[in-house]
Amino acid sequence: MYKFFKFVFIIFLITSILLLNTSTVNCEEYNDEISNYNVGIGIHDITGPAGEVVMMGYANTEQETEGIHLRLRSRAFIVENKDKDKRMVFVSAELGALFQSIKQGVVKKLQETYGNLYKNDNVLLSATHTHSGPAGYSHYALYNISAYGYIQENYECIVEGIYNSIVKAHNNLEPGYIEINTGTLQGTSINRSIEAYNNNDQDERNVFENDIDKEMVTLNFRNDNHDLLGIINWFPVHPTSMGNNNHLISGDNKGYASYICEKEMETNYNANKTFVAAFAQSNCGDISPNIYGGEQGYGSNDFESTKYAGEKQYFKCMELSNSASTNLVGKIDYRHKHIDFSNIIIAKEYVEYKANSELPEEISCDNTKLTYDAAIGYSFACGAEDGPSHVDLFHEGMTADDYPLETGYNNVKAAQFFLNAVPFINTINGINYPEMWEEHYPKPILFATGRGKPYPWTPEVLPIQIIKIGQLVMAGVPAEFTSMSGRRLKRIIKQTMDENSSVEHTVVIAGLSNAYTGYVATPKEYDLQHYEGASTHFGKWTLPSYLQEFHKLATELNSGTVTSPGPVPRNLIDEQMTFQTGVVLDNIPIGEEFGNVEQDVRTSYNKGDTAIVSFWTGHPKNDLKTQSTYLEIQKYTDNGWINIANDWDWETKYKWERKDAVWGTSLAWIEWNIPADTSPGKYRIVHHGAYKNGWNGKIIEFDGISSEFQVN
């Protein structure tokens, strides 16, 4: 009898366990367990003027936009706690830099729409740092000089585009979850400033296998049905695969990585809801995609180099995406603060902190260091190795020991190039401020940008920001951090967040976020005054000041302490000047009409050939074709002509050529490199343009159509 009851009890126990286990895999309960956030994603066009606007990045006044290869886009991600008490916004925008002007404009529009739901604290805007997009959208003079001042239409296009991407993400919020995975990407990048990097202490460098940061972090955004809604990928590398002789708007290697990922997922750029892949920027300060040094990338030309570097990032990202098995778990929180970086007292513990240091336990007031008014050095003017200015007066490594203020001659000689080019720049040249030479030593000061009148030429009140989603921590920095600078910042934030926590956090640096103020090199890198050190604005102790302030911010987040917002940065939107005229009129040769073919296509092509056609056109500034296209490649089918490619596709190029500036004539050249998988048939090329009537100023739309041709 005892054995019988024992047998019954065992059967009952097993049955109970099986029933219990069966109930835990119920689909609804499973979704409740993993869908711990509301997630929303959106994307919008921010391409800007495709003609006669200097590009942002290389500061080359001869590098003006002359068409489009890849359109630029803003990619927005919103994550909200399931109980809706807090939400955050992350945007990766394909821009050269994310200036404070843009953050101010976007937050203003969001608050006009949603009240205080979105604000500086929970909105993080980051630039990919492409060097092939139109400039002139900053409110600070240094970044607008090469573009001949402020370009309002570009500013408005960017603000509207980022705002609209966030609105789409807001409207797409739905229950979901986020997966995270990390890895290392080899063979894609090099340290372009290896001499400066090697000046860091050997014991610190020994901690790392590579002389650049090669860490990649990928997030998958999924809904309750486990559909992949979007991806954010962070990897530090300069988008300088396209050199300073390029004139076509392009997102460069990160833009191409996004493009091929979104093409694979059949993204519809005109849809309110579609798959989005952001290849965002991190601490790229000294990291170049040109693995053969200087301006030499993987391929025989810029396009091949861009494609290869973009593909490498894409393939590694998808490897991480497909193998991701860890979910973000935990609440959203954030901290944001504005700080005057021109006047920070820095404790010695942060001055001495390295990427192998322990977290400072006590902070002393002895042997403190200071930051100072912003200034840039002689070596700034030479450009970086992968984007040299080719100005013979300047080279990397120009220090105050070799070019002392006392002699005067070298300083005048070095500054003369800029004084001749821009006469009013002498109000901020370094010779006028001898006391700053000692403060910024060993930097010989070319421009004292912090002393500009009536306003500084670069901002000094800057935002720092931390956003936490579960075990992921994003650090928004308003600058380009070098590899070692980024490693130190990530370490001190991670140590702070991991302290007294059972969770091990992953820290990513969101580079060029919310504002922009040059580079941040380590003090030892600064000493050599390579391009990155000369571009470190607030002096030798700039990095320690960031370490100190981010440590404070992370501590406040960890403890739940309220963060003081800090000083309000100036808004200079009403103080802008431009020295570039708008479109006066467009014209055509006598006997022609807008949209007429000037040079037609051939009658037939093979796959791999390039079909080329030109049309008489108007200035691209007349209509930016935002969320639209200047061209269509069309194929004839049983249902008529259908569109198969646009001006944002890799195989197409829209080129604008000014023929006669006085008469006002111009041509649109359209190229289609016919892909190997193109099906044989009948094709044509369509151009969508707009011209400005010189008599009444009206903008008139038109279309041009090539002859039909056969693809064999």
- Rounded Cα gap, residues 27 and 98, in angstroms: 43
Burial class (CB in 10 A: 0-12, 13-18, 19+), 706: buried
Decide if 288 is catalytic: yes
- Rounded Cα gap, residues 395 and 389, in angstroms: 10
- Rounded Cα gap, residues 402 and 410, in angstroms: 9
Strand partners, 180: 219, 326
Q: Take residue 155 and report the two structure tokens written for it.
A: 């500013």
Secondary structure class of 531 (helix, strand, coil)? helix
Do residues 573 and 139 make contact, with C-beta atoms less than 8 angstroms apart?
Answer: yes
Strands 519-520 and 480-481: parallel
Catalytic residue among 193, 241, 288, 545: 288
| Among the listed residues 478, 483, 480, the one whose alpha carbon sits nearest the alpha carbon of residue 465 | 478
Do residues 186 and 214 make contact, with C-beta atoms less than 8 angstroms apart?
Answer: yes
Give φ, ψ of 336 to 5 degrees.
-145, 140
Secondary structure class of 641 (helix, strand, coil)? strand
The rounded Cα 339 to chain-centroid distance in angstroms is 22
Annotate 17-65 with DSSP letters as a single string.
HHHHHHHHT-HHHHHHHH--EEEEEEEEE-----EEEEEESS--TT-EE
Strands 87-93 and 123-127: parallel
| Among the listed residues 228, 235, 392, the one whose alpha carbon sits nearest the alpha carbon of residue 317 | 235
- Rounded Cα gap, residues 384 and 377, in angstroms: 13
Peptide linkage before 569 cis (omega within 30 of 0): no
| Among the listed residues 662, 663, 659, 708, the one whose alpha carbon sits nearest the alpha carbon of residue 683 | 708
- Rounded Cα gap, residues 710 and 472, in angstroms: 53
CA angle 295, 191, 145 (to 5 degrees): 55
State whether the Cα torsion 140-143-146-150 is positive or negative: negative
Residues assigned a catalytic role: 288
